[in-house]
C-alpha cells in the first residue's frame, strides 16, 4: 500500500487510548486534534472513520497499519474484544475470521431471556437452548428450567470455541470523553 507512509506522516496513533491525532494543521483541523468521526454501519454498529487524502479508513484497521505495518485484507475481520466499536485501543483489537468475530457477538438488544441462544417456549413454559456453529444451527435441547438451558448453551460455547465475552453487553469506553454524545 503506497498510502502507508503518507498516512503515518499525517496521523499519530496512541495504542493506549486508541486515539488518532493530526500531526499537522490542515484546512479545518489543528495539530493535535483528535482525528475521525463516528460512523454507523448498516447493522447500526458505531465505529470511527478517518478521511485521509480523500480516502475513508476505519480507525480499527488503521491501528493495524500502525502496529503491524499493514492493513488486513478484506476477508479478515478486526474484532473489538469488548464489543465497543469506538474503543480502538490496541489491547482491544484482534484479527479474526468472520466466524471468530461472530463468536464474540454481543447480546442482541431484543433478547428477552438475557442469554444468547436461550429462549422461553411460551406455550409449554420450557426453555430451549441452541447455538449456531460451524455454519449450522444446533439444537441443544428443551429444559424444564432456565438454568439448565443456560448451562447447555455455555457448554456448547466452550465446545465450539466461542470467545469468553460472547453474549455480554457492550462495554462502554470513551477515551477522555472524545466522542461523548
pLDDT one-digit tens code per residue, 8-62: 999 999 999 999 999 998 888 899 999 999 989 887 789 999 998 889 999 999 9
Please check whether residue 57 is in contact with residue 49, taking contact to mean a CB–CB distance below 8 angstroms. yes
Angle subtended by helix axes 3-10 and 59-68, to nearest 10: 100
Residue with cell 431484543: 110
Please check whether residue 93 is in contact with residue 86, taking contact to mean a CB–CB distance below 8 angstroms. no
Under 8 Å CB-to-CB from 178, ≥6 apart: which residues? 19, 34
Q: Can you tell me the distance from the alpha carbon of 152 to that of 147, in angstroms, rounded to the nearest whole number?
A: 9
Give residue-wise pLDDT tens across range 93-110.
Answer: 989 877 766 766 777 777
CATH architecture of structural domain 3-96: Alpha-Beta Complex (3.90)
CATH 1.10.3720.10 correct for 106-175? no
SS3 52: strand
Strands in 37-40's sheet, in edge-to-edge order, are 37-40, 46-52, 55-58
Strands in 126-133's sheet, in edge-to-edge order, are 118-121, 126-133, 136-143
pTM of the model: 0.68
Amino acid at each position: 500500500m503506497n498510502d502507508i507512509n503518507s498516512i503515518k506522516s499525517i496521523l499519530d496513533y496512541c495504542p493506549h487510548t486508541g486515539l488518532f491525532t493530526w500531526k499537522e494543521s490542515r484546512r479545518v483541523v489543528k495539530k493535535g486534534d483528535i482525528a475521525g468521526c463516528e460512523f454507523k454501519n448498516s447493522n447500526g454498529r458505531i465505529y470511527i472513520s478517518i478521511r485521509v487524502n480523500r480516502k475513508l479508513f476505519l480507525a480499527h484497521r488503521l491501528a493495524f497499519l500502525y502496529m503491524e505495518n499493514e492493513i488486513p485484507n478484506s476477508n479478515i475481520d478486526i474484532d473489538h474484544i469488548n464489543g465497543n466499536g469506538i474503543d480502538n485501543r490496541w489491547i482491544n483489537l484482534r484479527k479474526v475470521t468472520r466466524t471468530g468475530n461472530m463468536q464474540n457477538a454481543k447480546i442482541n438488544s431484543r433478547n428477552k431471556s438475557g442469554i444468547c441462544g436461550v429462549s422461553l417456549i411460551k406455550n409449554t413454559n420450557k426453555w430451549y437452548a441452541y447455538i449456531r456453529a460451524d455454519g449450522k444451527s444446533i439444537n441443544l435441547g428443551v429444559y424444564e428450567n432456565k438454568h439448565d438451558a443456560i448451562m447447555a448453551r455455555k457448554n456448547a460455547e466452550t465446545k465450539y470455541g466461542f470467545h469468553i465475552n460472547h453474549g455480554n453487553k457492550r462495554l462502554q469506553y470513551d477515551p477522555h470523553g472524545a466522542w461523548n454524545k
